[in-house]
Structure 1
Amino acid sequence: MTRTTGTTDDAAAPVAGLLLAAGGGRRLGGRPKALLAHRGRPLVEHAARALREGGCAPVCVVLGAAAAEVRARAELRGCTLVHNRGWAEGMGSSLREGLAALAATDASAALVSLVDQPGIGAAAVARLVAAHRAGAGLAAASYAGERGHPVLLGREHWAGVVRAAAGDRGARAYLREHAGGLTLVECADVAAPDDIDTPADLTLLD
């Protein structure tokens, strides 16, 4: 595992969870992913719980499509809810909104997770948090050596990520440019990175 050097303060400061849940599910016929049913509850609840149980606090959830309905139907007490009015621009806008909301906290890092990956639970989140506690300032879960989500962004990287985030790329370009300082944390034994994009992918919710 490649490691960057953190600080003593980082080891004690909280790691915030940042859940991107604003998408409108265009390829799902306009069904917002946050509201897809998973184990009898909206998918956004499962993803937020994984962040909390994996050791993240605070947890910020970025909403967009059907935000009012998500607020009404999903149990997200204890989470900070951010409404991204520009959600249709893509994931990059939600990442920018979420990091802006976390700027007022004392978090030393943001652990970014996507709402449409039900196979990622608290165990993978905990491994990324542990990597940060051990000194990683930039880290990502990997699956058989391939980089995936969740992604951990040390606070010192937030400004650069915000500048680079555009369209549906999120932090992808920034991570590629900083690959030499990226810690890869293998999670294939505890999580699955499959995401829900099309109706065929809905079987992942079974």
Structure 2
Amino acid sequence: MTRVGAIVLAAGEASRFGAPKQRLLLPEVLERLEASPVDEIVVVAGAHQLETPARVVTCPGWKRGPGVSLRCGLEALDDRCAAAVVVLADGPDLAPEAVARVIASWREHGGAVVAASYGGERGHPLLVARSLWDAIPDEGLRGAVARLVPCDDVGAPGDVDTPADLPPRLR
């Protein structure tokens, strides 16, 4: 079976949140990733030092854009990984089923970029095939064409920007 790694982007300042939200949200995201069919997990830190049982790489150029952080994480993955699932540290409701569905779709149909969709809108997790790893721009993959995999039934991962966005269980 082809290996798939996971990259958790956690490098930002969290300025709208007012504190390093990654420290609060990362345990939930990692727990959900560990319940999914990924072979390894790399967390990309930047603005804040993070302590977690997962492997953490610090990206000195994180301010230049999410693509820079993503490339730092991809470089840390095992050479045998043929693809990487990308998730955000501020999505505490990530469904392991969405990760599994995106990986299964990529394994069946291929493609350079495969993403979960919610209500027809592209979201996370996002899978990036190794063939694209060297071509990721500093601004990230927001503009890349992705094959969408509907995941409405498992729920969106969330997007915590401010304390008011926290799920009740984390308040």
The equivalent position to 1:32 in structure 2, one of 11, 16, 20, is 20
Give the corresponding residue for 2:124: 149
Give the corresponding residue for 1:93: 68
Contact 2:8 2:44 (8 Å CA) reproduced? yes
CA distance in 2, matches of 1:199, 1:61: 22
CA distance in 1, matches of 2:107, 2:114: 11
CA distance in 2, matches of 1:200, 1:64: 24
Alignment map for 1:61-140 (pairs within 5 Å): 61-67=43-49, 70-71=50-51, 74=52, 76=53, 79-102=54-77, 104-137=78-111, 138-140=113-115
Structure number with higher helix proportion: 1
CA distance in 1, matches of 2:21, 2:59: 15
Larger CA Rg, structure 1 vs 2: 1
Gaps in structure 1 of 5+ consecutive residues: 1-11, 37-42
Contact 1:50 1:125 (8 Å CA) reproduced? no
Gaps in structure 2 of 5+ consecutive residues: none
Shift, 1:128, TM fit:
1.0
Give the corresponding residue for 2:11: 22
Structure 1 ranges of 4+ moved more than 6 A: none
Contact 1:142 1:184 (8 Å CA) reproduced? yes
Shift, 1:130, TM fit:
0.9
CA distance in 2, matches of 1:203, 1:53: 20
What is the TM-score of this pair, normalised by structure 2? 0.89
- Once the two structures are aligned, what percentage of the paired residues are identical? 42
Root-mean-square deviation (CA, aligned residues, Å) is: 1.7
When the two structures are aligned, how many residues end up with a matched partner? Answer: 169
